[in-house]
């Protein structure tokens, strides 16, 4: 019923109107952040007042709260300063703070200015703090050594990727067979195995496109000596998947059952085993949650005689009673519903497999769990689950660009832990020491019945007020508010708010000692520094890889940044290199890893449009081709680009020094050659690396005049001495 005020006395009505018109004076900052260059001399901060009164209003400004900049070193602010708003004036008032130009190489720093003790006014709720970023002017852009260069030979379109806004084809994983000079591409979206003629890498042609859907959904492909192995998930993804073997032309040979949702497949270096990482993701409503596992298919007897008896699936059930201990080590066990938590075996989700050069051990990334599992190939048993650790973003060299709305690239340190959550992994050796290389992409569980991903600014994500007194400022979208974080890790005292902030992905690559699991190296913010300062691709820094859309700079800064996705290694001359692909901004980075504790940037190449969503988008699969196995006689790098459904081929120009050394090196002979389960002798002692046809190290020699071939599968190998000499070995 409408209210009727006609009966109220006129004096009372007048009083009500007067009271309603008298509004309180409110002081606030005009913006949540300010950005200043270190050599600017000073920064001016603006503050405003609403509804100024007949009497002047004042407020104190102090430096208080989160800060990485230091008063007296980075800026001058010795005591509280009073800001005065004249009576009746709505003009903004300015506070000028001197900024000091030091000579220290550092990340973007910041300090907080807080308003307090207002007179004749109140402070606007949530608008009493301001963050001031100071951009360093002493940090130079990373300079590639350029001892080798990558030149694009071709970007081959395997199929039309999109129909309107719907993706209909992809090129997710690529495998190369030197014996047939063919590429095999897993087209997971189109449900096909695409076979390409790679005789001329600059002019790839199609051979066939095999419909895989009758067998299941293709996730990955591997090939060796004309045998193609595909990892296929079941039409019911939570049921057991399979490995399907084809010949070089795509003719069906065999099919065996493996664990649920095989996501990646590989041959062991000796060719004796085919391994799959069975991710075992739950159904979206969590009514079904299969166990993660790793399947080992013994193919020593040949594919023709293969049966299900040749398949061993290693599970994690023996760890089901160790959830508490695993969490204490930093391994994330957190899935399932509140009424039915996942067991450890259900929670662990194998993502990717790498096999040691001696084919004795497999290493499996457990991406969502932030861990690596170790599998003994002799016993087919999981022997360890190791945490990969978190990147402490408070530490120098570990900062990130955390907001898609900050307007500028601001790689800064924050009270955050980056969950590395590696995707791809590679195994290699240097001087007899085994190492692992990981691409720390990051990933979240996001299902209809269970989702851990939230924005830091979300109302449900409450920061502990004691540990984060500046929570309102941190939650601003120009600071950390847009950052995606997990709501399943960080409440250390169980009181419902978050005492630690955990974000997805390390935005880095890491190197670990394979024997102990100890961290040898982490690239920290190097990948973001390289891409943000790149003369060409800095303009699309942290841009997404959407097909057909103009790239938007920094629109992935609030997610996982460049998202390192794929890794591999390759020996060229005397040098060992790591190749790291970046899913979002695209392209690949190359690092010399002769010293695994101190990689050296060699090159960054990319092939995407700066103004349209074209070119190579979403690199995932990555393959190094050694010169001995290359159709061109020079090393190649192949990238499968999932979004654009393209295969990019780069020619690698070897260092001049290696070429010169090879010309002057003394001849090197191996005997007996061919060899069969015996000792191989060298015509002179050398140090060097014996690699398989894919360029993967299988033996490391140090001033050796002989080595054992035990454990090496039949095939062709190449010994590359550090003095440049090479010699081919045939093992029967």
Neighbours of 399 (CB within 10 A): 26
Residues 674 and 636 in one domain: no
**666 — pLDDT class (breaks 50, 70, 90):** confident
Residue 488 lies in a domain: no
Both structure tokens of 363: 């290493």
Q: How far apart are CA 355 and CA 273, in angstroms?
A: 10
Residues 56-74 have pLDDT tens digits of 999 999 999 999 999 999 9
Residues 377 and 296 in one domain: yes
Residue 389 lies in a domain: yes
The predicted pLDDT at position 8 comes to: 36
Phi-psi map region of 225: left, alpha, beta (phi>0 left; psi -120 to 50 alpha): left
- Percent of the chain past pLDDT 70, that is, above it, reads 95
Q: How far apart are CA 710 and CA 405, in angstroms?
A: 57
Residue 100 lies in a domain: yes
Domain final residue pick, 135, 163, 190: 135
Q: Which CATH number fits the domain that encloses residue 30?
A: 2.60.40.2030
Q: How far apart are CA 521 and CA 398, in angstroms?
A: 12
Contacts for 11 with CB less than 8 Å, ≥ 6 apart: none
Q: What is the dihedral of CA 517, 523, 524, 527, to 10 degrees?
A: -140
Residues 93-135 have pLDDT tens digits of 999 999 999 999 999 999 999 999 999 999 999 999 999 999 9
Q: How far apart are CA 267 and CA 220, in angstroms?
A: 12
* Residue 521 pLDDT greater than 90, yes or no: yes
In the chain, how many domains are there?
3
Q: How far apart are CA 548 and CA 15, in angstroms?
A: 62
Residue 4 lies in a domain: no
Q: Which CATH number fits the domain that encloses residue 240?
A: 2.130.10.10
Q: 15 phi and psi, to 5 degrees?
A: -60, -40
Calculate mean pLDDT across residues 435-446. 98
Residue 456 lies in a domain: no
Q: 264 phi and psi, to 5 degrees?
A: -150, 150
The predicted pLDDT at position 655 comes to: 56
Q: Which CATH number fits the domain that encloses residue 712?
A: 2.60.40
* Residue 19 pLDDT greater than 80, yes or no: no
Residue 461 lies in a domain: no
Decide the pairing of beta strands 81-85 and 57-63: antiparallel
The predicted pLDDT at position 732 comes to: 87
Residues 59 and 186 in one domain: no
Residue bearing tokens 């109107």: 17
The predicted pLDDT at position 2 comes to: 39
Residues 256-299 have pLDDT tens digits of 999 999 999 999 999 999 999 999 999 999 999 999 999 999 99
Residues 187 and 47 in one domain: no
Calculate mean pLDDT across residues 678-700. 81
The predicted pLDDT at position 12 comes to: 36
The predicted pLDDT at position 14 comes to: 37
Residues 668 and 644 in one domain: no
Residues 203 and 296 in one domain: yes
Residues 282 and 178 in one domain: yes
- Residue 419 CA, chain-centre distance (Å), reads 10
Calculate mean pLDDT across residues 487-506. 97
Q: How far apart are CA 729 and CA 628, in angstroms?
A: 12
Both structure tokens of 213: 């859907």
Contacts for 414 with CB less than 8 Å, ≥ 6 apart: 393, 394, 399, 400, 402, 480, 501
**379 — pLDDT class (breaks 50, 70, 90):** very high
pTM, entire model: 0.88
Q: 421 phi and psi, to 5 degrees?
A: 45, 70
Neighbours of 202 (CB within 10 A): 12
Q: Are 464 and 551 within 8 A, CB to CB?
A: no
Residues 33-49 have pLDDT tens digits of 999 999 999 999 999 99
The predicted pLDDT at position 388 comes to: 98
The predicted pLDDT at position 695 comes to: 67
Domain final residue pick, 81, 113, 135: 135
Residues 101 and 250 in one domain: no
Q: How far apart are CA 213 and CA 219, in angstroms?
A: 11
Residues 188 and 279 in one domain: yes
DSSP 608: B
Structural domain range at position 59: 21-135
Residues 624 and 718 in one domain: no
Q: How far apart are CA 698 and CA 503, in angstroms?
A: 37
Q: How far apart are CA 32 and CA 249, in angstroms?
A: 61
- Residue 551 CA, chain-centre distance (Å), reads 19
Residues 687 and 645 in one domain: no
Residue 533 lies in a domain: yes
Domain final residue pick, 653, 686, 721: 653
The mean of the pLDDT values for the chain is 93
Q: How far apart are CA 430 and CA 661, in angstroms?
A: 20
* Residue 7 pLDDT greater than 50, yes or no: no
DSSP per-residue letters across 517-583:
--EEEE-TTHHHHHHHH-TTGGGGTT----TTS---TTTTTTTTTT-EEEEEEEEETTEEEEEEEET
Residue 500 lies in a domain: no
Residues 374 and 289 in one domain: yes
């Amino acid at each position: 019923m409408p209210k009727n005020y006609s009966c109220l006395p006129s004096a009372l009505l007048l009083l009500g109107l007067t009271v309603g018109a008298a509004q309180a004076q409110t002081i606030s900052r005009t913006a949540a952040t300010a950005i200043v260059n270190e050599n600017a001399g000073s920064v001016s901060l603006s503050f405003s007042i609403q509804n100024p009164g007949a009497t002047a209003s004042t407020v104190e400004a102090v430096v208080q709260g989160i800060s990485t900049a230091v008063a007296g070193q980075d800026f001058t602010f010795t005591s509280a300063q009073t800001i005065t708003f004249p009576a009746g004036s709505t003009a903004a008032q300015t506070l000028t703070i001197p900024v000091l130009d030091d000579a220290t190489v550092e990340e973007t720093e910041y300090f907080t200015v807080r308003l307090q003790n207002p007179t004749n006014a109140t402070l606007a709720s949530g608008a009493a703090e301001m963050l001031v970023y100071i951009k360093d002017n002493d940090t130079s852009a990373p300079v590639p050594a350029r001892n080798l260069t990558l030149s694009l030979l071709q970007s081959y379109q395997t199929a039309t990727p999109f129909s309107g806004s719907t993706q209909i084809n992809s090129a997710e994983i690529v495998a190369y067979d030197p014996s047939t000079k063919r590429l095999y591409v897993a087209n997971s979206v189109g449900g096909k195995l695409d076979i390409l003629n790679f005789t001329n890498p600059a002019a790839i042609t199609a051979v066939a496109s095999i419909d895989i859907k009758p067998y299941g959904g293709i996730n990955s492909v591997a090939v060796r000596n004309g045998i193609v192995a595909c990892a296929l998930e079941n039409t019911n993804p939570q049921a057991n998947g399979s490995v399907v073997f084809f010949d070089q032309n795509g003719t069906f040979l065999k099919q065996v059952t493996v664990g649920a949702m095989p996501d990646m497949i590989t041959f062991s270096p000796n060719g004796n085993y085919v391994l799959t990482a069975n991710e075992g993701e739950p159904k979206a409503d969590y009514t079904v949650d299969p166990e993660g596992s790793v399947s080992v298919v013994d193919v020593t007897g040949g594919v023709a005689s293969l049966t299900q008896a040749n398949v061993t699936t290693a599970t994690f059930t023996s760890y089901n009673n160790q959830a508490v201990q695993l969490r204490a080590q930093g391994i994330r066990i957190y899935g399932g519903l509140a009424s039915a938590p996942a067991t450890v075996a259900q929670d662990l989700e194998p993502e990717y497999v790498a096999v040691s050069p001696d084919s004795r051990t497999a290493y499996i990334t457990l991406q969502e769990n932030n861990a690596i599992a170790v599998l003994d190939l002799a016993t087919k048993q999981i022997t360890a689950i190791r945490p990969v650790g978190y990147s402490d973003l408070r530490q120098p060299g570990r900062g990130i660009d955390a907001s898609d709305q900050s307007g500028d690239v601001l790689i800064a340190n924050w009270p955050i832990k980056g969950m590395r959550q590696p995707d791809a992994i590679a195994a290699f050796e240097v001087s007899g020491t085994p190492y692992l290389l990981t691409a720390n992409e990051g990933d979240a569980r996001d299902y209809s019945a269970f989702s851990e991903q939230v924005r830091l600014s979300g109302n449900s994500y409450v920061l502990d007020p004691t540990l984060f007194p500046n929570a309102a400022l941190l939650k601003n979208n120009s600071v950390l508010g847009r950052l995606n974080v997990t709501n399943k890790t960080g409440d250390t005292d169980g009181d419902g708010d978050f005492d630690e902030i955990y974000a997805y992905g390390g935005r880095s690559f890491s190197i670990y000692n394979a024997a102990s699991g100890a961290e040898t190296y982490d690239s920290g913010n190097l990948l973001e520094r390289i891409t943000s300062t790149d003369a060409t691709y800095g303009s699309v820094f942290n841009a997404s890889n959407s097909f057909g859309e103009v790239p938007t700079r920094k629109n992935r800064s609030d997610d996982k940044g460049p998202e390192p996705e794929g890794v591999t290694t390759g020996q060229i001359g005397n040098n060992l290199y790591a190749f790291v692909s970046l899913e979002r901004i695209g392209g690949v980075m190359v690092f010399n890893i002769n010293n695994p504790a101190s990689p050296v940037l060699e090159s960054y190449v990319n092939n995407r449009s700066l103004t349209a969503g074209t070119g190579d988008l979403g690199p995932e699969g990555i393959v190094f081709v050694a010169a001995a196995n290359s159709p061109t006689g020079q090393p190649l790098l192949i990238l499968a680009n999932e979004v654009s459904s393209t295969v990019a081929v780069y020619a690698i120009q070897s260092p001049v020094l290696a070429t010169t050394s090879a010309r002057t090196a003394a001849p090197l002979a191996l005997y007996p050659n061919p060899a069969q389960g015996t000792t191989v002798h060298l015509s002179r002692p050398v140090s060097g690396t014996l690699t398989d046809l894919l360029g993967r190290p299988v033996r490391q020699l140090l001033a050796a005049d002989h080595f054992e071939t035990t454990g090496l599968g039949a095939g062709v190998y190449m010994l590359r001495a550090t003095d440049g000499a090479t010699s081919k070995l045939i093992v029967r």
